Amino acid sequence: MSYQDCIQACLECMEQCNRCFDDCLKEDNVNMMAKCIRLNRECADICAFAVQAMQTNSQFTNQICELCAEICEACAEECEKHSNHAQHCQDCAQACYRCAKLCREMAAA
C-alpha cells in the first residue's frame, strides 16, 4: 500500500466533507444535519492534517492516520443515516469509508 493511495483517499474525503458541510447548511432542515455538520468539519480537518503528515514524512504518520480513520468512520456512519434523501451525504459516506480503510492500512504498515 503506497503513501500516494492514502493521500489521494484523504484528499477525496476532505473534498466530500467540505462539500457535504456546505450542502448540509443549505438543507431545509438543518437541525437534522447538525451532527453531520460537526463531523464534516472535523473529518475535513484531520484529513488535511494526515495529508500534510504523509507529504512531509512525519514520524507520527501512523498515529495520525489511526485517528483519521476513527473520525472518518464516525463521519461515514452519520452521513449514512441521511443517505436516502441527501446525495451529498451518500457521496461523503462512501469517501469516508474508503479513506478510513486506507488510513487503517497505513497505520498498521
Q: Which is nearer to a copy of itself, 66 or 105 (CB)?
A: 66
Min CB(21)–a copy of itself separation in Å = 6
Q: Quote the distance between the C-alpha of residue 50 and its chain's center.
A: 11
Binding mask 32-61 toward a copy of itself (x if CB under 8 A, else -) reads -xx--xx--xx-xxx-xx-xxx-xxxxxx-
Instruction: Kindly tell me which residue out of 70, 80, 94, 105 binds a copy of itself, with binding defined by CB under 8 A.
Output: 70
Q: Which residues of 78-99 are buried (b: 16+ CB within 10 A; e: fewer)?
A: bbbebbeebebbbbbbbbbbbb
Helix axes 34-55 and 87-108, enclosed angle (nearest 10): 40
Gap between the Cα atoms of 14 and 34, Å rounded = 18
Min CB(69)–a copy of itself separation in Å = 11
Gap between the Cα atoms of 81 and 62, Å rounded = 29
Contact positions vs a copy of itself (CB under 8 A): 7, 11, 14-15, 18-19, 21-22, 25-26, 28-31, 33-34, 37-38, 41-42, 44-46, 48-49, 51-53, 55-60, 63-64, 67, 70-71, 74
